[in-house]
A and B are shown apart, each in its own frame.
Chain A
Amino acid sequence: MEQNGLNGFGRKPQTIIEKVWDRHVVTQREGAPTLLYIDLHLVHEVTSPQAFAGLRERGLTVRRPDLTLGTTDHSIPTHDRNLPILDKIAATQIDQFEENCREFGIPFFGPHSKNQGIVHIIGPEQGFTQPGMTVVCGDSHTATHGAFGALAFGIGTSQVEHVLATQCLLQTPSQTFEVRVDGTLKPGVGAKDIVLNLISRIGIGGGTGCVFEYTGSAIRASSMEERMTICNMSIEGGARAGLVAPDDTTYQYLSARPHAPKGGAWDHALQSWRQLPTDEGATYDKRIDIDASALEPMITFGTNPGMGISISEPVPDPLSLSDPLERDTLSKALRYMDLPSGKPLLGHPVNVVFIGSCTNSRISDLRLAAALVKGKKFSPNVRVMVVPGSQQVKEQAQAEGLDQVFRSAGADWREAGCSMCIAMNGDQLQPGEYSVSTSNRNFEGRQGKGGRTFLASPLTAAASALTGVVTDVRTMLW
């Protein structure tokens, strides 16, 4: 680092977070938030109808339908797409969404599109998500796109309307938070365990006001899909966004995608993307270090994603907490989960296993789970649902015979969608049931009223589906 905190070009060293921000500032007025330009706006049926209604009321159009993409994922059933949608309210929402996209000229992947899928799966899959972009969506897991070095955050419906109308968003700058993950993961431990560990350490409010940048040798060694799993759950640590600086892994993944730049445009883009990584000497407002080699498979025991433990660790005792509010919060969670403290979850019976969601429904997740399951049968006591994140993932999995592996083990193989991650479409837990889920939220009732969720990796989920109880996958490794 040069004197005065400036680098050789007389410019203060910047993090990638600041660089992407700076590239998108439209106006910066005294006493007002920054007006930030948005490169990609993803919309889905649940958080957009009121925004489109707002546009109609004001007589506005969509400024850049070409930078907007719609899909149906949240309330769409995951049964055969040729069957009617029985839930009339959901059917109306989906119809209204298609009508909105048509009326305002927005390209969309409807229920029958071969590209339909969870909004955070299809953006990267199609190559819409690219380094250095600003990406928004009326959905808190938009941080997923940060895996490409994009600044990607979830927004509310009012902001969906703002972006539709103006392609801009009012934002205040975030603090920067380096999450440094060094070391090599042990067999049976993966990206999901890294992020569950992070959240269990900082708590679900730990990243409030911040954007995470994931750095370190374990991140550099990870695949794009693993990076997406990690970035996806940044919001569960309270962060506005989370990202990974692009590198050759990123470019290699992108180059094969249908909507990535081609030819000269690709070379041009690459040149610009290579400027993005954090400068040497840049500083962050906060930092945490994670030793990947020390991690075990993680699992949650409570009613928020921060209530996580290593799989062999005991469930914590509320009495060990000195803060009364924290104690009450943990007691309430354990009452809801109907779990004793002081014992590990290992061996706890499981009713349902859900492999899916924008956290873990990409092809690599399915391959990982299928490799463990191949030639075996799931426990007869467990209902297993495997829900690919997109129709493209589904097709690929079928081409590789993964669907057969899951089906012959006794799983239900579904069409793409959010499914039991949010339980809006009829896929849900029954009251009192326990699930091991690869999704991202274990809030009370998240997967169905009265349902109880243990969040874990695809490997832990598959292992638990085979045995019928919460299982340490390392005892089963092939």
Chain B
Amino acid sequence: MEKFIAFSSRLAPLPIDNLDTDQIIPARFLKTISKLGLGDNLFYDWRYDADGNPKPEFILNRPEGHAANVLLAGDNFGCGSSREHAPWALVQYGFRAVISTSFADIFRGNALKNSLLPIVVPRETQERLFATLQTDPAATVKVDLITQTLTLPDGSTTVFPLESFAKTCMLEGVDELGYILKQQDEIAKFESERKLTVDTWELVTA
């Protein structure tokens, strides 16, 4: 996992609530056995017309959206399927953070494991950002993970919540599997103790 460093960026606004993972990456692109090449298909059905030509009005096809590393979304971003292809596609396209008032649980977990920062802001901040972008599409925000601060275009700041564990993993580029693997003794102990007390399920192969 890449280490996460503070950065400034423009914003790509998508003022839609409940943006689901089927829009982020349509299911027909999930037949791949690799993680690569998904960025090209990000938001495919909103981004391209029936002939595969970019739709000029879609935000990622406009210069201000194309240059952004931060996506500004409506409420409950990333609902729907558990596909990790969604954060893979966002990251491969170049996004490093998504701002919303809330994230669907599975998407949020998947994003954190891929150095894509889910930034939760109050409704009022979200509305202010959308409004700012209408008058100044080139407005920028600054994201600082160490202080968990989002600096808005007007210079004001808002602190966003994040569990310390996920934050440490992102800052240090540690992945969770390495952390779990260090607890193999505890896992083995749990398994053997459990075998003595509960024998409620038959093994799958039995």
List chain A positions with a Cβ less than 8 A from chain B.
Answer: 23, 26-27, 31-33, 35, 37, 39-40, 46-47, 49-50, 53-54, 58, 63, 65-69, 74-75, 87, 89-90, 92-93, 96, 107, 128, 130, 132-133, 138-140, 153-159, 161-162, 165-168, 170, 172, 203-205, 208-209, 238, 240, 259-262, 265, 268-269, 272-273, 304, 306, 325-326, 328-329, 332, 422-424, 431, 441, 443-446, 449
With A47-B84, A89-B32 given, is the CB distance from A304 to B20 under 8 Å?
yes
Least CB distance from A332 to B in Å reads: 6
The answer to whether A328 and B15 touch across the interface, beta carbons within 8 angstroms, is yes
Task: Point out the residues of chain A lying under 8 angstroms from B201, CB to CB.
Answer: 39-40, 130, 133, 261, 269
Contact status B109-A90, CB under 8 Å: no
Does A37 contact B190, Cβ atoms closer than 8 Å? yes
Q: Can you list 7 residue pairs at the A/B interface with Cβ under 8 Å? A: A63-B187, A75-B31, A139-B81, A140-B80, A158-B175, A162-B176, A204-B76
CA of A351 to CA of B131, assembled, Å? 41
| B75 interface neighbour in A68, A90, A205, Cβ under 8 Å | A205
A46 partner residues in chain B, CB cutoff 8 A: 30-31, 83
B106, A154: Cβ atoms under 8 Å? yes
Could you say which of B18, B106, B163 contacts A204, with CB atoms under 8 Å apart? B18
The reply to whether B181 and A259 contact each other, CB–CB distance below 8 Å, is: no
Cα A306 to Cα B203 with chains together (Å): 38
| B196 CB within 8 Å of chain A | no
Q: Which of B31, B106, B164, B165 contacts A140 (CB 8 A)?
A: B106
B22 within 8 A of A: yes
The chain A residue with its CB closest to the CB of B176 is A170
Chain B residues, Cβ within 8 Å of A203: 18, 76
Bound CA–CA A463/B165 (angstroms): 52
Asked if residues A449 and B45 are in contact (CB atoms below 8 Å), the reply is yes
> B104 in the interface, Cβ–Cβ < 8 Å?
yes
Q: Say how far B199's CB is from chain A's closest CB, in angstroms.
A: 6
Residues of chain A with a CB closer than 8 A to B82's CB: 47, 138-140, 154-156
Contact call B204/A68, Cβ cutoff below 8 A = yes
Determine how close the nearest CB of chain A comes to the CB of B42; give it in whole angstroms. Answer: 14
Known: A35-B187, A325-B75. 15 other contacts (CB 8 A): A47-B83, A49-B34, A93-B32, A132-B200, A166-B181, A168-B183, A172-B163, A205-B102, A209-B105, A238-B79, A262-B202, A268-B200, A424-B30, A441-B22, A443-B20
Q: Measured between alpha carbons, how far is A445 from B176 in the docked complex, in Å?
A: 34
Q: How far is the CA of A109 from the CA of B142 in the complex (A)?
A: 50
> Taking the complex as formed, is B74 at the interface, i.e. its CB lies under 8 A from any CB of chain A?
yes
Complex: how many Å from CA A422 to CA B113?
25
Contact assessment for B184 and A166 in the assembled complex, using a CB-CB cutoff below 8 Å = yes
User: Closest residue of chain B to A131, judged by CB?
Assistant: B200
A-B pairs, 10 with minimum CB distance: A205-B76, A49-B33, A156-B110, A156-B84, A154-B82, A157-B84, A269-B200, A443-B22, A140-B82, A66-B203
Known interface pairs A159-B109, A304-B18, A304-B79; A27-B183 also in contact (CB < 8 Å): yes
Q: Which residue of B lies closest to A100 (CB)?
A: B33
Q: Closest CB-CB distance, B93 to chain A, in whole Å?
A: 18
Contact mask B24-35 → A, CB, 8 Å, 1/0?
001110111111
